[in-house]
Amino acid sequence: MSITLANKDDRTSLLILSVVLGVAATAFLDVVNYLQHIILDKPLTRYEFIGRWVIYMTDGVFSHQSIKAAPSKAGELMLGWVGHYAIGIGFALLMLIFTGVKWVLKPSFLPAFIVGFATCSIPFFLMYPGMGYGVAGLHTPNPAMLQSKVLLSHFIFSVGLYAAGWLLSRRIQDACNE
């Protein structure tokens, strides 16, 4: 079974697989983060700040001294959560664009890891500076903690992406054998 992107159906398959993989990997990340919060007392990610940052962009404000100090906006928490999952879907799409949807038939960890590692650049060089944390969080009281949180979260996402691909490949194989 081979899927190319030559026609509309193939692009639809790419998008559907991206949604399935991205949502599953992001949900896996959320479960692991919640378990870390319960077991290790690690703080949870505050998605309302991401939503707030995005909402301010619609007003032409792309950078803040501190996103935490910026007045809250209606819908910021919901937008933060939706954005969190949309980003996960986008990362899955990015991987499938480079590997092809054939990756789902025989997933390997390396492409998922590369996407997870490469996408650390987004919070380090785009989100954190825009939110007032500085490049790679260097304007925070503990940059190493923030950096390690990003690296660990993106690694966990990579594991979730691979696991979702592995489970999906088993499901596809079972369906083909019926």
Q: Using one digit for the tens of pLDDT, what is the confidence trace for 63-91? A: 999 999 999 999 999 999 999 999 999 99
CA 47 to CA 78: how far, in whole Å? Answer: 8
Instruction: Indicate whether 98 belongs to any domain.
Output: yes
The DSSP output letter for 126 is I
Cα–Cα–Cα angle for 69, 72, 74, rounded to 5 degrees = 170
Please, which pLDDT band fits residue 7 given cuts at 50, 70 and 90? Answer: low
Instruction: Indicate whether 21 belongs to any domain.
Output: yes
| pTM given for the model | 0.89
Helix axes 76-99, 109-118, angle to 10 degrees: 130
Total domains in the fold of the chain: 1
The tokens for 21 are 């993989």
Instruction: Indicate whether 2 belongs to any domain.
Output: no
Instruction: Indicate whether 1 belongs to any domain.
Output: no
Instruction: Indicate whether 90 belongs to any domain.
Output: yes
Give the closest residue to 114 by CA, choosing from 147, 155, 152, 146.
155
Instruction: Indicate whether 178 belongs to any domain.
Output: no
Residue 59 belongs to what domain range? 8-173
The string over 128-164, giving b where at least 16 C-beta atoms fall within 10 Å of a residue's C-beta and e elsewhere, is bbbbbbeebbeeeeebeebbebbeebbbbbbbbbbbb
Instruction: Indicate whether 3 belongs to any domain.
Output: no
Instruction: Indicate whether 52 belongs to any domain.
Output: yes
How many CA atoms are closer than 13 Å to the CA of 13, on its beta-carbon side? 16
Residues 6+ apart with CB under 8 A from 61: none
User: How far does Cα 21 stand from its chain's mean position?
Assistant: 11
Does residue 60 carry a pLDDT above 70? Answer: yes
The tokens for 72 are 């809250």
The tokens for 45 are 């990610």
Largest Cα–Cα distance in the chain? Answer: 58
Does residue 16 carry a pLDDT above 90? Answer: yes
Please, which pLDDT band fits residue 4 given cuts at 50, 70 and 90? Answer: very low
Please, which pLDDT band fits residue 3 given cuts at 50, 70 and 90? Answer: very low
